[in-house]
């Protein structure tokens, strides 16, 4: 099975990107990360990419703080194509992906979300879960479509909500599961792609 080539988009510290790097280094994921892009010039994910000698770029979102302009999406698609990415993996990327990028990589954009979707889509899902008083939450790896965390699920992991949980402790336990299932989901996708 050939090595799958991954492009990564992130807006934050890049812990899921690091989990992918670690899985590759441990021989648990037959992949190469060919490009990391961030809409936040000072994002930790870019520092991690630099430290790991992975090519990286900043996305020009034309001054918008939350919107992902079409021009920027086209530029991301072109950069990912030029880098030879098979899949685009979102790792804490905080903008909605729309047609320009989805059309360029149909059914090839993957996200990890910190809840058991369809419950608690959107921002701060662990806070939503704790505030709702649910007994369990978790995380979901899913294909990205034009909706907010609405694409088909690939893999999920459950995390119990403990009586003593704070936002921080619950989020930390969810992240442990994210770091486990994201590489596992990509292994499943790589197997499927090798059959096409």
| All structural domains of the chain with their residue ranges | 4-112+141-156+179-195
Instruction: Indicate which residue of 113, 142, 171, 179 is catalytic.
Output: 113
Give the CATH H-level superfamily of domain 4-112+141-156+179-195.
Answer: Formyl transferase, N-terminal domain (3.40.50.170)
Nearest-angstrom CA–CA distance, 140 and 124 = 14
Residue 192 to residues 22, 62, 107: CA-CA distances in angstroms? 22, 37, 12
pLDDT, residue 193, reads: 79
For the segment 18-68, what is each residue's pLDDT rounded down to a tens digit?
999 999 999 999 999 999 999 999 999 999 999 999 999 999 999 999 999
Residue 17 above 90 pLDDT? yes
For the segment 129-169, what is each residue's pLDDT rounded down to a tens digit?
999 999 999 999 999 999 999 999 999 999 999 999 999 99
Residue 196 above 80 pLDDT? no
Nearest C-alpha neighbor of 119 from the set 86, 89, 150, 143: 150
Does the annotation count 171 as an active-site position?
Answer: no
* pLDDT tier, 195 (very low <50, low <70, confident <90, very high otherwise): low
Nearest-angstrom CA–CA distance, 72 and 140 = 27
């Amino acid at each position: 099975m050939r090595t799958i080539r991954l492009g990564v988009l992130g807006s934050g510290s890049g812990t899921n990107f690091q989990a992918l790097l670690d899985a590759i280094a441990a021989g648990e994921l037959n992949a190469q990360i060919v490009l990391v892009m961030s809409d936040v010039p000072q994002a930790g994910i870019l520092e991690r990419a630099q430290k790991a000698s992975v090519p990286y770029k900043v996305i020009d979102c034309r001054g918008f703080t939350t919107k992902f302009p079409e021009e920027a999406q086209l530029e991301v698609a072109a950069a990912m194509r030029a880098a030879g990415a098979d899949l685009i993996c979102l790792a804490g990327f905080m903008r909605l992906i729309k047609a320009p990028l989805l059309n360029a990589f149909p059914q090839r954009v993957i996200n990890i979300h910190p809840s058991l979707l369809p419950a608690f889509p959107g921002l701060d899902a662990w806070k939503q879960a704790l505030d709702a008083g649910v007994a369990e939450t978790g995380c979901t790896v899913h294909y990205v479509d034009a909706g907010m965390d609405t694409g088909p699920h690939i893999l999920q992991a459950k995390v119990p909500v403990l009586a003593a949980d704070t936002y921080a402790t619950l989020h930390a336990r969810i992240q442990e599961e994210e770091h486990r299932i994201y590489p596992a989901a990509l292994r499943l996708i790589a197997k499927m792609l090798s059959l096409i």
